[in-house]
């Protein structure tokens, strides 16, 4: 069964260091999402791609976070420098994302749990 792949599964980093997460969506999915989920809260959208283009990054802290999806397939989310408050689960999801598609459910990866010390 096709699934969204994320790595690493867990990451511990010191504050002020750089950290990167990788996501490989389900093949053929045009829409890719990065979410941040702080413990005990709902997922918060950081950035949404349609193919290689960013369609929503209004909640992305652009002074330290960046995201790219250069070939419209896999994606990388980077934080530099990391801060203590960035400790959270980072979830990647993908959906078919075509305008003509009705059942555009999103499929989630297992997430990357980031701890900043």
Partner 1 sequence: GNSVTQMEGPVTLSEEAFLTINCTYTATGYPSLFWYVQYPGEGLQLLLKATKADDKGSNKGFEATYRKETTSFHLEKGSVQVSDSAVYFCALIAFGNEKLTFGTGTRLTIIP
Q: Which residues bind partner 1 (CB under 8 A)?
A: 31, 33, 41-43, 45, 48, 50, 55-56, 91, 93, 95, 97, 99, 102-111
Q: In whole angstroms, how close is the CB of 48 to partner 1 at the nearest point? A: 6
What's the min distance (Å) between Cβ of 101 and partner 1? 9
CA–CA gap between residue 55 and residue 22 (Å, rounded): 19
Q: Which is nearer to partner 1, 88 or 93 (CB)?
A: 93
- Kindly tell me which of 21 and 33 has the beta carbon lying closer to partner 1: 33
Contacts of 1 (CB under 8 A, 6+ apart): none
2/18 with CB nearer partner 1: 2
The CA-based dihedral angle spanning residues 45, 56, 50, 77, taken in that order and rounded to the nearest 10 degrees:
-60
């Amino acid at each position: 069964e096709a699934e969204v792949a994320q790595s690493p599964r867990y990451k511990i980093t010191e504050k002020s260091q750089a950290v990167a997460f990788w996501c490989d969506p389900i093949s053929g999915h045009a829409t890719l999402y990065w979410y941040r989920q702080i413990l005990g809260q709902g997922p918060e959208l950081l950035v949404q791609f349609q193919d290689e283009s960013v369609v929503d990054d209004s909640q992305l802290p652009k002074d330290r976070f960046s995201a790219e999806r250069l070939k419209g397939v896999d994606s990388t989310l980077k934080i530099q420098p990391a801060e203590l408050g960035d400790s959270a689960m980072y979830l990647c999801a993908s959906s078919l994302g075509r305008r003509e598609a009705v059942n555009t459910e999103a499929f989630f990866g297992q997430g990357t749990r980031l701890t900043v010390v």
